[in-house]
Amino acid sequence: MTASESHARGKARRSDVPRSSHGTWSAGPGRRDPVDVLTDQDATRLAWLVPVRHGRMLQSPFAFFRGAAAIMAADLATTPSSGITVQVCGDAHLSNFGLYASPERRQVFDVNDFDETLAGPWEWDVKRLAASAVVAARENDMKAGDARTAAEAAIAGYRDAMRRFSTLPILDVWYAQASVDALRSIASSKSARKALDAGARKARTHTSERALGRLTERVDGTLQVRSDPPVLVPLRDLAAHVDRDQVMADVRESFASYAESLDVDRRRLLERFTVMDLALKVVGVGSVGTRCFLALLRGRAHGEPLILQVKEAGPSVLEGHLPRSRYALHGKRVVVGQRLMQASTDIFLGWSKRADGHHYYWRQYHDMKGSADVLDMGPQRLADYARVCGLALAHAHARTGDASEVSGYLGRGSSFDDAVGDFAVAYADQNATDFEAFRQAADDGRLPVEND
């Protein structure tokens, strides 16, 4: 279809699924106990790290929200959908956007977490993003109106960007990037631009060289990953939990198949490095307990460091509610989804075949990566940041779906913004209720908890 035909089809979808229908949320009588949803996930995780996950989620309602993607996925499956499918992030909250380096060494801003990515309704990502803005605003003790403003800023940023992308040639959409300079032009105040510049400078220091000093030590002339349990545990210290020889054999097998997933030029580059050491690394909130390793590599010629993150990929939390991925390897699902949604992607991003019964994907651990501390923002900065995240999300969706059809459904006015603003406030209330249930389960001894 032409762009005008797609736009008309999107607009026609409003008759079956009015934009106002997205504004309601209430837990139905068949809704599962949120604690049960989360403990079901614990069953496949490293048992000795599950208490750490619980401890991190208990830090605040926002931390709980970050780890509760599975709960919200089930809830979103009960909400209206226009029927327009894109590649969704699956966990599009405010803290899953950030700065990183493009292959050309320019800092860009984009979605940066794809563990749950799958083809699905675009509304699900928008609603999770908007709800996260309200949860974050409440944690910052903002007024109800400011929380609602932040959520609507995210939605309006998405709507405005999608309308603009619907008018651009396909290649222009594909090549578009949100650079630091572009973000500065969006910032509404001098203080916001100053904070952005400071964050960008800090992110530029996040390199393998810097990580080397923090994560490694030299013992008897040999460089190795330092021990800092439970968040960083070298393979040599994992004897109580794993068969080290078997793990190393699995790593070698995984590394070989990972290299095969890269394009020839990047595979040739990787061949110039050798694996020196391996450690289990606890990352994030929702990911705690999954098998995540840091692989320390050194250049064969000059000894320069390269630190790769080897992260377990399980089924997407969306797969219980949407058609399953076409990819049998979940690592490949994550990598393909990221390559589709991101304008610039890590040159070392790849997947490996099954090893030790699990699926993995690989990427650089530090490459000028930085994320904003949304819990340190005032009302205006949070609204500005939410708008930028909405813009980035719209670009990711426009790359993989029909921007004209989505824009046709959204329209130029604020009808969809108002509706999803209502949803975001109601779902933030639900998140607070679920958090209290989770905390009560911990207090009752139902959940083991460890604070790291």
Q: Which of 184-193, 200-209, 264-273 has the lowest mean pLDDT?
A: 184-193
> Which residues are bridge partners to 335 per DSSP?
none
pLDDT value for 355: 67
Whether residue 18 contacts residue 426, with contact meaning beta carbons closer than 8 Å, is answered with no
Residue 92 banded pLDDT, cuts 50, 70, 90: very high
Range 349-366 average pLDDT: 87
The per-residue pLDDT for range 295-315, each reduced to its tens digit, is 999 999 988 889 999 999 999
pLDDT greater than 70 at residue 368: yes
Report how far apart, in Å, the C-alpha atoms of 363 and of each of 30, 165, 347, 367 are.
Answer: 40, 29, 8, 10
| Distance, CA of 346 to CA of 305 (rounded, Å) | 16
pLDDT value for 322: 97
pLDDT greater than 90 at residue 10: yes
Residue 395 banded pLDDT, cuts 50, 70, 90: very high
Surface-to-core class of residue 269, CB atoms within 10 Å of its CB (0-12 exposed, 13-18 middle, 19+ buried): middle
Range 370-378 average pLDDT: 91
Range 74-90 average pLDDT: 98
pLDDT value for 425: 98
Range 191-199 average pLDDT: 83
Supply 221's token pair: 């002339």
pLDDT greater than 70 at residue 326: yes
| Distance, CA of 68 to CA of 63 (rounded, Å) | 9
The per-residue pLDDT for range 202-257, each reduced to its tens digit, is 888 888 788 888 888 888 888 888 898 888 889 888 766 667 777 777 777 888 89
pLDDT value for 130: 98
The per-residue pLDDT for range 98-126, each reduced to its tens digit, is 999 888 888 999 999 999 999 999 999 99
pLDDT value for 331: 96
Q: Which residue has the tokens 């095969």?
A: 260
Range 155-184 average pLDDT: 93
Domain boundaries, the chain: 3-204+372-443, 208-364
- The pLDDT > 70 percentage for the chain reads 99
Report how far apart, in Å, the C-alpha atoms of 295 and of each of 92, 224, 313 are.
Answer: 27, 10, 17
